Chain A
Amino acid sequence: IEDPPGLPEKTEYLLREWVNMYHSPAAGRDSTKAFSLFVQQMHQQGILKTDDLITRFFRLCTEMCVDLCYRALSEQAQTQNVAMTRNKCFPTLDAFVRLIMLLVKHSGDNSNTNTKINLLNKVLGIVAGVLLQDHEVRGEEFQQLPYHRIFIMLFIDLNGPEHVLEVINFQILTAFCNTYHVLRPTKAPAFMFAWLELISHRVFIGRMLSLTPQQRGWGMYAQLLIDLFKFLYPFLRNAELTQPIHFLYKGTLRVLLVLLHDFPEFLCDYHYAFCDVIPPNYIQMRNLILSAFPRNMRLPDPFTPNLKVDMLPEIQHAPRIPLNFANMITPNSFKIDLDSYLKTRSPVTFLSDLRISLQSKEPGSRYNIPLMNALVLYVGTQAITHIHTKGLTPSMSTIAHSSHMDIFQNLAVDLDTEGRYLFLTSIANQLRYPNSHTHYFSCTLLYLFAEANTEAIQEQITRVLLERLIVNRPHPWGLLITFIELIKNPQFKFMNHEFVHCAPEIEKLFESVVRSCV
């Protein structure tokens, strides 16, 4: 519906007025004097009369700020003077941001915070809407500058030490996370570099992962990283990377390194969700996530001679996984048969149908990897519980001869090489820091190697472990102790296998690992 006649002109006049007031010496502390005068002008002009007019006012202001930037950027194409562009745009953008912040802060009375949050969500939605439309209309001429500046300065302004804002900080974070999710790279790819800059900004990370109590921001932040991984997935899987994607990938590694260093527990908690959306061939990025371990934990050196993993105190404890992966086992009929088989080893057809159930209809992938990951983790955790109810702890003997191991052995034997590779990858994704999952799945991998009825299974187990070891650090602790056990323990006769000697460099690599073990 068109804007009421005269509204654009009125809005332009008001925006210009506000920018001048914001920058004038009389603006006062945090522009509050200027704001109280300006609000009267907004009243006089009838802008605050209805929700619809306020919405139109903000959209028109956003569009005017955006137009200003595009004009300055087009001049920059001639002058190449980047500083000039910023000096032209930022005073107006920052003034507009301050107006938004003050309106949010002063709207409604302090007890009724809904008015404030509703206004913030409205404005963020308007800016996001203008961005998406601009992104679609301008195509490759789209520029991230105005939107990036508005979002980051508004976030910094709203996270200042103001009691009124502190009280609603979690809703503010939620509003921004929702907006960034709407603007995720798959939806606005030309905005993706600004987007990653926004979600990795020190103030944003600080608020989301450190300052917000009870880790309430972790789930939302994990969702944003999943949005990023989902965007990267098709390009990384093909490994044929254009320069922009390679640049984005390196930027992603930098952010993950900051998280690994500062918030390893966050990566520990959400490793499962992340592994679902990281292509299996992006080993180093996955290793980085799987290498995280709680800061209060001391990892024994994997090369310690006669390391007794099952004697470690932490090995009994299950890791936190704040995700209901059981719900990801669909369809429900499959889950019912699975639970029935785990309990009673019936229906006997469950095992023979398993391979079909794991097929995918998605173009480009033959197997349903998220279902595979969920199945492996679900069966494994059920097995651990089952073993504990018998008063035992997981070991090469206690994990054997169970309905759980039937399923794993069936998958190892029945799947083709691609399916088996993905199945073994799901298991290897659980080899992390000392916990009950790492221990159980390490035993499982070694058991499948020992009980394999074909050398191909043993070769693929070796492949899945080796490809994770030959990439640059970091390497997950559980991966190292599993591989060392496989090489050291004479029960597996590892060095006798043909595939160990398939190429000189592979043979040399194994021998170097043997030397470091010995």
Chain B
Amino acid sequence: PLQDEHIYQLTMGKAGFRHLPYPSDSERIRVHLPRKPCPTPSYYPQL
């Protein structure tokens, strides 16, 4: 069975999961062409 500390870790992990980092959080601010992710048609090239 999970110990109390594991239950605490699960609870806090859930809190972290609600505020996931975004890829652009690891990149310098780009003034002119900031990322604006949005769903584009699947038949458009994604990569």
A contacts B directly (C-beta below 8 A): yes
Interface hit among A46-54, A138-146, A288-296, A500-508? A138-146
Q: Mark B1-28, 1 if CB is under 8 A from A, else 0.
A: 1110110111111111101111011101
- Residues of chain A within 8 A of B2, CB atoms compared: 234-235, 238
Query: Chain A's nearest CB lies how many Å from the CB of B35?
Result: 9
- For chain A, residues 172 to 212, give those with C-beta under 8 angstroms from any C-beta of chain B: 185-186, 188-194, 197, 201
Beyond A235-B10, A238-B2, A245-B10, whether A148 also contacts B29 by CB under 8 A is no
Whether the Cβ atoms of B12 and A140 lie closer than 8 Å is yes
- Residues of chain B within 8 A of A247, CB atoms compared: 17
Check A152 for interface membership: any CB of B closer than 8 A: yes
Check A244 for interface membership: any CB of B closer than 8 A: yes
Check B41 for interface membership: any CB of A closer than 8 A: no
- Residues of chain A within 8 A of B20, CB atoms compared: 193
A245 to B14, CA, bound (A): 8
Chain A residues proximal to chain B, CB less than 8 Å:
82-83, 86-87, 90-91, 94, 135, 139-145, 148-149, 152-153, 156, 185-186, 188-194, 197, 201, 231, 234-235, 238, 242-245, 247-248, 363-364
The 8 Å CB contact of A152, one of B6, B17, B19, B25, is B25
A193 to B19, CA, bound (A): 9
Check B39 for interface membership: any CB of A closer than 8 A: no
Whether the Cβ atoms of A193 and B16 lie closer than 8 Å is yes
The 8 Å CB contact of B21, one of A193, A235, A244, is A193
Query: Chain A's nearest CB lies how many Å from the CB of B7?
Result: 10
20 contacts across the A-B interface (CB closer than 8 A)? A86-B25, A90-B29, A91-B29, A94-B28, A139-B15, A140-B12, A145-B21, A148-B26, A156-B28, A190-B16, A194-B16, A194-B21, A197-B26, A234-B2, A234-B6, A242-B10, A242-B14, A244-B10, A244-B13, A245-B10
- Residues of chain B within 8 A of A87, CB atoms compared: 29
* Number of interface residues, chain B, beta carbon within 8 A: 26
Chief secondary structure at chain A's binding surface: helix
A235 to B11, CA, bound (A): 13
Query: Chain B's nearest CB lies how many Å from the CB of A203?
Result: 9
Beyond A86-B25, A90-B29, whether A248 also contacts B12 by CB under 8 A is no
A189 to B5, CA, bound (A): 11
Whether the Cβ atoms of B16 and A144 lie closer than 8 Å is yes
Whether the Cβ atoms of B6 and A193 lie closer than 8 Å is no
Query: Chain A's nearest CB lies how many Å from the CB of B8?
Result: 7
A142 to B13, CA, bound (A): 10
Beyond A140-B11, A235-B10, whether A193 also contacts B17 by CB under 8 A is yes
- Residues of chain A within 8 A of B34, CB atoms compared: 83
10 additional A-B residue pairs with CB within 8 Å, beyond A190-B15, A197-B25: A83-B34, A139-B15, A140-B14, A140-B15, A142-B12, A145-B25, A148-B26, A188-B12, A234-B2, A244-B10
Query: Chain B's nearest CB lies how many Å from the CB of A490?
Result: 47
